[in-house]
Amino acid sequence: MNTYFTADFHAYHSNIIRYCNRPQLKKGDLDKKGNWISEYIKEQRGKEMNEFLIKRWNDRVKEGDLVFHIGDFGFGKKAFDVRKRLNGDIIFLQGNHDRNNNIKTRISRIVIRIGKDYINLVHNPQFADSKFRINLIGHVHGAWECKRVRTHFGFTDCINVGVDVWNYYPVTYNELMKRYYKWRKGYDSKKR
């Protein structure tokens, strides 16, 4: 059994394609103001994105694997249709866009232990917890991968597990830590 992390799927949220420049956006899909040229194109690209995300997920995640989806799984009641097609057991954390989908999770944060590390999982880095060395977050899409954030009680490091950062695949803890230590090495050398 493998454990994976991801966030910000945004199933059935076609506008996320243009907001985040996801690969389903094609030349000519948007007008000069950045809006979809038609509802048909918007719907088609949304369907393409859903299929793409399902394929990426199922390419990595197998039955019996565990996935923590750290918020913003999907829009509307149809999001559960996508869930039914995904491999693995999923623990959903609530994101700011999960109010009206059928996932209905009440988990807004969770603390897990991997080896000796206790890790806080929370969707929005604004709610990261400085009691933990590392917080796994979503919400920021492709804005950054790793970042030191200020909380009410000090600083903590956050790792963005969102699909827009990880080539639309769920990722393992080892993959996250490899990227984190690379970032940390650069961060520490800049402080000197």
Question: Average model confidence (pLDDT) for the chain?
Answer: 93
In angstroms, the CA 53 to CA 68 distance is 15
Q: Which domain holds residue 185?
A: 3-191
Q: In this predicted structure, what is the pLDDT of residue 188?
A: 64
pLDDT in tens, 77-127: 888 889 999 999 999 999 887 776 777 788 899 999 999 999 999 999 999
Q: In this predicted structure, what is the pLDDT of residue 26?
A: 96
Are 8 and 71 in contact, with CB atoms under 8 Å apart? yes
- Structure token pair of residue 179: 């990227």
Are 55 and 82 in contact, with CB atoms under 8 Å apart? no
pLDDT in tens, 23-53: 999 999 999 999 999 999 999 999 999 999 9
In angstroms, the CA 49 to CA 15 distance is 11
CATH of the domain at 176: 3.60.21.10
pLDDT in tens, 169-185: 999 999 999 999 999 98
Predicted model pTM: 0.93
What beta strand segments (E) does 123-189 contain?
134-137, 146-151, 154-160, 171-172
Please tell me what DSSP assigns to residue 99. T
Structural domains counted in the chain: 1
Q: Is the pLDDT of residue 187 over 90?
A: no
More confident of the two residues 185 and 160: 160
What integer is the mean pLDDT of 135-156?
94
